[in-house]
Structure 1
Amino acid sequence: MGSCFGVIRQRSRLSSRNAPSNGNKRGGRNEPLKKDKPKWKSDYPMTEGQLRSKRDEFWDTAPAFDGRKEIWDALKAAAVAIECNDHQLAQAIVDGASITLPHGSLMECYDELGNRYQLPAYCLSPPVNLVSECNDHNASENAEPQEKKEKEFQLKVRLSTGKDLRLSVTMADSIRQLKKQLQIQEDIDTAHQRWFFSGKLLTDKTRLQDTKIQKDFVIQVIVSQPIVTS
């Protein structure tokens, strides 16, 4: 980790020397990166491993939507530096990538072309109800009862084949679990299912509670046909 940050720090210093001054950046007002980290609370007690998985899922999917990949890479490096309390390195990375911060926060920023980037709070700081990994036993005791308390409801699913059906689910269920349930019910292999809600692809690790879905909404499932070779 130390050697990795050493390379990032060296590259950022070299980039910042050639970067335009703040007054020349697009996007209007540009504030220096604030040291204060956002405070937030998870919907359920979260372990460090769960937080890491949530962050990995965001960084894997974010570049696929808007913005430039090199800016997303710079934002990720800056977020890691912030997590390690290296504010100076984070600022150097932001300056080197010509990123503008209207409010001094990575939660809303712009590149030199005017593209907007938004980082969720969980990428910049842990939740206030983070559970230590060494307390894993207590974490399971705290988290599992909450999931068991979740009430089941009928989720409406619309297949690309034109068929509508309902699955018995809870808000704590992951898309991976729902894919397996659909496989059992409709004999559709999980590898041939792609779940979408509000136009966004839902990854296997996503839980229904993360999608903000209401109980009367519909999830779209694209069913791909397996390739048959002769």
Structure 2
Amino acid sequence: MGSCFGVIRQRSHLTSRNASRYSTKRGGRNEPLKKDKPKWKSEYPMTEGQLRSKRDEFWDTAPAFDGRKEIWDALKAAAVAIECNDHVLAQAIVDGASITLPHGSLMECYDELGNRYQLPAYCLAPPVNLVSECNDHNVSEHSELQEKKEKEFQLKVRLSTGKDLRLSATMADSIRQLKKQLQIQEDIDATNQRWFFSGKLLTDKTRLQDTKIQKDFVIQVNVNQPIVPN
């Protein structure tokens, strides 16, 4: 921002009248800066942090390709002013740097030497689908929960007490997790549960996907009744 105001002081003799005269020579026009901000939509919901990174990348690389650095500095300062809704400051920066706006927008402009400058819409306004960092976390969390829900199925369990029941499970669940679920659902302590499938004892670390179990198969659970002292 400081470099921009340096440009204004150094080039105060180049007024908007000069820019207009140059524009006429080019056969174009020099319109005043419009207050309307460009409306655009990102290909994906973008957070404020992602938008800042995208802008920083542009401002770091744009001066290396074409144009003059002092003009790029002025354009960046004007873009910041527009973002802050300070239209008067943005217009003063443009006039002070003798930048010509054929369409009244920083998306296409020229310096007094005829160099063309183009600013992408994301440097002038946020996308319509901008999300806050908090909302982005919630969206991600919701997506994970939705994905897990889609993978869930009803696991058939047969207790040694003769009772059949179903547990909500995914193939990624471990036997330890399912024991805890059974403990909550049937008040059977996890340490008193022994899970078997195809005659094989399933350890706590075993996951359902390791057992090759099908969704309509049944897992046997032996329940050890605690001994009550007399």
Q: Give the TM-score category using the shorter length.
A: 0.5 to 0.7
Structure 1 residues 183, 145: closer, same or farther in 2, change over 3 A? closer
How many angstroms does 1:30 deviate by?
0.5
Tell me the alpha carbon deviations over residues 143-190 of structure 1, each in whole angstroms, 9 at most, x when there is no partner. 889999999999999999999999999999999999999999999999
Residues 26 and 113, structure 1, Cα contact 8 Å, conserved in 2: no
Residues 7 and 70, structure 2, Cα contact 8 Å, conserved in 1: no
For structure 2, the 5+ residue unaligned runs are none
Structure 1 residues 166, 137: closer, same or farther in 2, change over 3 A? same
Of 155-164 and 96-105, deviating more is 155-164
Secondary structure of the corresponding residue to residue 13 of structure 1 = coil
TM-score between the two structures when normalised by the length of structure 1: 0.53
Of 119-128 and 215-224, deviating more is 215-224
Aligned to 1:182: 182
Of 184-193 and 68-77, deviating more is 184-193
Residues 153 and 169, structure 2, Cα contact 8 Å, conserved in 1: yes
Structure 1 residues 112, 3: closer, same or farther in 2, change over 3 A? closer
Secondary structure of the corresponding residue to residue 21 of structure 1 = helix
Residues 23 and 100, structure 2, Cα contact 8 Å, conserved in 1: no
Alignment partners' CA distance in 2, 1:79 and 1:30: 18
Instruction: Point out the structure with max Rg over C-alpha.
Output: 2
Identity %: 90
Structure 1 residues 151, 226: closer, same or farther in 2, change over 3 A? same
Structure 1 residues 100, 15: closer, same or farther in 2, change over 3 A? closer
Alignment partners' CA distance in 2, 1:200 and 1:30: 83
How many angstroms does 1:132 deviate by?
1.3
Superposition pairs for residues 138-149 of structure 1, below 5 Å?
138-141=138-141
Say yes or no: does 1:28 pair with 2:28. yes
Aligned residues: 230
How many angstroms does 1:140 deviate by?
3.3
Alignment partners' CA distance in 2, 1:110 and 1:194: 78
Alignment partners' CA distance in 2, 1:115 and 1:186: 77
TM-score between the two structures when normalised by the length of structure 2: 0.53
Secondary structure of the corresponding residue to residue 150 of structure 1 = helix
Residues 45 and 142, structure 1, Cα contact 8 Å, conserved in 2: no
Aligned to 1:40: 40
Residues 27 and 100, structure 1, Cα contact 8 Å, conserved in 2: no
